[in-house]
Structure 1
Amino acid sequence: MHAKTDSEVTSLAPSSPTRSPRRAVYYVQSPSRDSHDGEKTATSFHSTPVLSPMGSPPHSHSSVGRHSRESSSSRFSGSLKPGSRKILPNDGAHKKGQKHCDVIEEEGLLEDEERGRGHRRRCYFLSFIVGFFVLFSFFSLILWGASRPQKPKITVKSITFEVFNIQAGSDSTGVATDMITMNSTVNMIYRNTGTFFGVHVTSTPLDLSYLQLNIGSGTINKFYQSRRSQRSLSIGVTGNGIPLYGSLSGLSSSTGTATIPIPLKLGFTVKSRAYVLGKLVKPKFYKTIDCNVTFDPKTINVAISLKNSCTYD
């Protein structure tokens, strides 16, 4: 008795009195990486029979199940596109951690940006302050430079002697000497040439001297002169009981009047201060005046012109 083949079994199956369950044949097509090899795919499809779970033993069923799951997973993994990511069991925790890190990073960036804005604000504020002071200083310098050429003009017109007496006397220590008493008035004109500022005017004492001996003195009271205006000033220069210690001996008569002309010198300094921009821009002007005066006994109470006798520095 020879072994029957599958074809004989199949052909005898209808005439068999007891029908055995027909085995269903399943074919699993394995993925082929060669897309152009269609014949191999077809051959693989027909040449890989898998027995039905109904006709296979229990161990064959589990084996086929595992093989099917592995094939399905391999097909699923093989069908993923390049660049796709596999979902892992702890992928949610990873995403949460990633989101937490992103939040921390974003907060850090916001803090850095806020610090940068604060730094920029401080820089802008300092730049504004520095720029303001630079512009203000430049503007003040322009005003100061523009005011410097506008110096006041002072003209000493004349001096008038009302009293000029030389008499014998004694000083505070009792020493006998000739003493002089004189009274005079100096006339002058002060003019402010400033076009946009007024000036405050003071002066040093007006000293009238013979040689190095001061025989009379006077002061100019402080005053304010508005822009582009002028005024006339009359300053009294007087001396009372000034000891001469022989300086003018032989120049006076018995009545105390001078017998010959006496050369004198008048000198003083006028100070002018302008307030161009409040007290921030205050140009100052100094004018030193020296005048040669010749007293003539015949000119008592007569104005002596000094227009051509004075120097202005």
Structure 2
Amino acid sequence: MHAKTDSEVTSISASSPARSPPRRPLYFVQSPSRDSHDGEKTVTTSFHSTPVLSPNASPPHSSSSTRFSAPHRKKDNHHHHHSLKPWKQIDVIEEEGLLQGEDRDRTLSRRCYFLIFLLGFLLLFTLFSLILWGASRPMKPKIFIKSIKFDHVQVQAGSDSTGVATDMISMNSTLKFTYRNTGTFFGVHVASTPLELSYSEIVIAAGNMKEFYQHRRSHRLVSVAVMGNKIPLYGSGASLSSTTGMPTVPVPLNLNFVLRSRAYVLGKLVKPKYYKRIQCSITLDPKKLSAPIPLKHSCTYK
């Protein structure tokens, strides 16, 4: 047998009386190529590798067709995305609005938490300060005037700054008292007004106490010099004058001063203050000079 040529096949087909179904044209897929040389190789390979399709079969998709059609699908998706862009913009705006709302809520929540913390801290600190202040109020210092000693007393004639003649008194004395800080958790700073000795409402001697700091639960003995130099007595000095310059009769005197104590319990925020006004009635006996005069029962504390 010999192979039939294309012309013989055509003549046989034309002369054959039997009806055969029409044939569909052959399909082949050509992959895109960068240059014509590669394209010719791809076409030749695809032509020889692609089988003849049957009438009822659909052309298979090769990897080359997938690569060839991918750009088209991307373009279609981009076109679809572009067509739905207004709706998506609305969705994006709504989502951004929700996110911004959440951010605002978080910021407000943080601010609220900070304000609540600050107010709570201030409230607790105020409460703590009030507790300390209330606890420190009963812990008042205790003061006891012990004695006063007159070292020198002299009455002599003289004149005041205007030249008026009058009796004048000079004295030198020392006052002693104890100061006790009863505070269990704070010290105190102690100061005083001038200590004044008066006779018939005339201040004849005065003294200044040096300020000091007293530690908690401690005490000290304080000595203050109370002196006067040539204080005019005017008409009140007639009963005190003598030829020796010393009083011949007991002389009633009054001692007055205010002792001020300040405690720093919590820095300068909690600093309770204690005031004690002290008044003592003293009798100066000329026969007991240079001897301490007890004042335990002669003073009042207000």
Tell me the TM-score normalised to structure 2 length.
Answer: 0.72
> Corresponding residue for 1:213?
202
The 5 Å alignment of 1:1-313 reads 95-313=84-302
Amino acid at match of 1:263: P
Amino acid at match of 1:173: T
Amino acid at match of 2:238: S
SS of the aligned residue for 2:117 comes to helix
Amino acid at match of 1:196: F
Q: Give the unaligned 5+ runs of structure 1.
A: 1-89
CA positional deviation for 1:246: 1.6
Where in structure 1 do 4 or more consecutive aligned residues deviate above 2 Å?
90-100
> Corresponding residue for 1:30?
none
SS of the aligned residue for 1:251 comes to coil
Alpha-carbon distance in 2 for matches of 1:92, 1:257:
122
Amino acid at match of 1:214: V
Tell me the TM-score normalised to structure 1 length.
Answer: 0.69
- Residue deviations 1:7-60, cap 9 Å, x none? xxxxxxxxxxxxxxxxxxxxxxxxxxxxxxxxxxxxxxxxxxxxxxxxxxxxxx
- Residue deviations 1:243-291, cap 9 Å, x none? 0002120333211111111111001000000000111111000000000
Alpha-carbon distance in 1 for matches of 2:287, 2:181:
36
Contact 2:168/2:237 (<8 A) preserved: no
SS of the aligned residue for 1:244 comes to strand
- Residue deviations 1:93-149, cap 9 Å, x none? 774433221111111110111111111111111111111111111101100000000
Q: Give the unaligned 5+ runs of structure 2.
A: 1-78
Contact 2:195/2:207 (<8 A) preserved: yes
Amino acid at match of 1:107: E
Alpha-carbon distance in 1 for matches of 2:158, 2:236:
14
SS of the aligned residue for 1:256 comes to coil
- Residue deviations 1:54-77, cap 9 Å, x none? xxxxxxxxxxxxxxxxxxxxxxxx
Alpha-carbon distance in 1 for matches of 2:239, 2:276:
37
CA positional deviation for 1:309: 0.4
Contact 2:167/2:241 (<8 A) preserved: no
Alpha-carbon distance in 1 for matches of 2:123, 2:239:
68
Alpha-carbon distance in 1 for matches of 2:249, 2:241:
8
SS of the aligned residue for 1:200 comes to strand
SS of the aligned residue for 1:142 comes to helix
CA positional deviation for 1:217: 0.1
Alpha-carbon distance in 2 for matches of 1:121, 1:162:
74
Computing the radius of gyration over CA atoms, which structure comes out larger, 1 or 2?
Answer: 1
SS of the aligned residue for 1:247 comes to helix
Amino acid at match of 2:234: Y
Alpha-carbon distance in 1 for matches of 2:209, 2:226:
10
SS of the aligned residue for 1:174 comes to coil
CA positional deviation for 1:172: 1.4
CA positional deviation for 1:154: 0.5
Please tell me the root mean square deviation across aligned C-alpha atoms, in Å.
1.5
Distance 1:172 1:92, change over 3 A: closer
User: % of aligned pairs identical?
Assistant: 62
Amino acid at match of 2:155: I
